[in-house]
Structure 1
Amino acid sequence: MSLHQLDIAPRDVSAGALGLLLDGPAPTPLAQLRLPGAAGASVVLGVLGASHVVAAEVRGHRLTEEVSCDAVAAGGRPLPAEQRSGGYAFTAATTTATRAELDATAARLRARAADDPAWLCGAFPGAADALTALTAQPLDGGWAWQTWHLYPAGDSGELVTTRTRWVP
C-alpha cells in the first residue's frame, strides 16, 4: 500500500504556479516509492508539497523530472502543455473541476494507491481531495509515468495531470 496521509501543509496550491525542471537535483520527497525494472532499471516516484519528482534510470542513463512551484526558480520553465526531447515526451493538462468531481477523482486515486503497489499517493491536511498521485510502468528500454495533482479551492478546484514516456 502506497497511500500516505502527510502531516504538512501543501506548498503548491495553484496549477498556475507549477513549473517543469528536467535533470536537476531531486528534492527530498515527503513520500516516495521505488519500482524496479528489467536489467537494473529503476524509477523513484516522489510526492513533494502537492507536486512531484521522478528519478528514473535505464542502462546507465538517468533522468529527473520535477513538477513543482520551485521548478522555475531552480532553472526550469513554466509548466508546458508538451515537451519533447530525444527519448523524452511529456504532456500536461490543467482542468477546472467542481468539488464533487475533485472528490470523485480523489476517491478513485486513493483506492488505486491502496490496492496497487505501483501507485504512490500523498494526501494533505485540510481537504480530502488535496492530494498528489503517481504511477509508473516499465517500457522496453525505458519508463512511462502519470501524475495527478488536485488543488481544491472552495466549491471547485484545479486538476493537473501529466504523462511522461522516457526511452533513452
Structure 2
Amino acid sequence: MPFHELAVAPADVDGAALGLALDAPPPEPLATLRLAHPGAGTLVLGVLGASHVVTVEHRDGRFSEEVSCSAHAHGGALPGHHDAPGYRIDTRTVACAATDFAMLAARLAERCRTDRHTLGGRFPGDDAALTVLTARPDGPGWAWRTWHLYPAADGGTAVYTTSRWRP
C-alpha cells in the first residue's frame, strides 16, 4: 500500500545503465516497506533514486540485491539472467510508446495504493517516473518483482526484474 511522492530528483535516469550488486553494503533507501515471513525473518523493499534495494534478514544472516547505476561499484552490469546459490534474477528492458507507458504507470500507481505487499515511489517532473517493488513469501524464502520506469518525450523505458531467494 505504501506509495510515496518523493521530493528528490532521481539519481538513476537511464535503464540501460543499471547494474546488479549482491550482498553489497545496502545504500540508504528513500522509502521502505518491511514484510515479515510467516516462517521467520523479514524482507525490506527499498526505493533508491529510481532504482531499488531488497534486503532479506534471515536466521543465517543477510542477503541483499541492489539494482541501480551505482551497483556497478560492487557488482556489474544488469544481466538478462543470473543464478547464484539460492538466488535467481531475470530482467528485461522494454521501450514503450507513450500510451502504453502511461497505462503501465497508472496500473503500477494503483497497485501501490491497493496492495499491502507493494512499495512505490514517484519522482518529480513526470507522473510516470516510478519505481515499484512487490514481494511475497515463497516457501522458506521470498519472491519479488520490480518495475523501473524512465519517461522520455515519446514514451519511456521500463526495466522489469523478477527475483527469487531461498536460504
Q: Place the TM-score, normalised by the shorter chain, in its bin.
A: over 0.9
Partners of 2:62 and 2:82 in 1: how far apart?
18
Partners of 1:11 and 1:97 in 2: how far apart?
21
Partners of 1:133 and 1:79 in 2: how far apart?
17
The residue that corresponds to 1:99 in the other structure is 98
Partners of 1:59 and 1:145 in 2: how far apart?
20
Any unmatched runs of 5+ in structure 1?
Answer: none
Normalization by structure 2: what TM-score?
0.97
Q: Secondary structure at the match of 2:16?
A: helix
The answer to which of 2-11 and 33-42 deviates more is: 33-42
The residue that corresponds to 1:22 in the other structure is 22
The residue that corresponds to 1:46 in the other structure is 46
The residue that corresponds to 2:9 in the other structure is 9
Following TM superposition, where does structure 1 have runs of at least 4 consecutive aligned residues deviating by more than 6 angstroms? none
Contact 2:39 2:140 in 1 (8 A): no
Partners of 1:59 and 1:80 in 2: how far apart?
29
Pairwise CA RMSD of aligned residues? 0.9
The residue that corresponds to 1:116 in the other structure is 115
Partners of 1:165 and 1:53 in 2: how far apart?
14
Partners of 1:160 and 1:125 in 2: how far apart?
19
Any unmatched runs of 5+ in structure 2?
Answer: none
- For 1:58-110, what per-residue CA distance to the aligned partner results, in whole angstroms no more than 9, with x for missing partners? 3324210000010002x210000000011101011000001211111111011
The residue that corresponds to 2:125 in the other structure is 126
Q: Secondary structure at the match of 2:100?
A: helix
Percent identity, aligned pairs only, is 50
Q: Secondary structure at the match of 1:54?
A: strand
Normalization by structure 1: what TM-score?
0.96
Shift of 1:135: 0.3
Contact 2:128 2:149 in 1 (8 A): yes
Equivalences, count: 167
Contact 1:150 1:158 in 2 (8 A): yes
The residue that corresponds to 2:157 in the other structure is 158
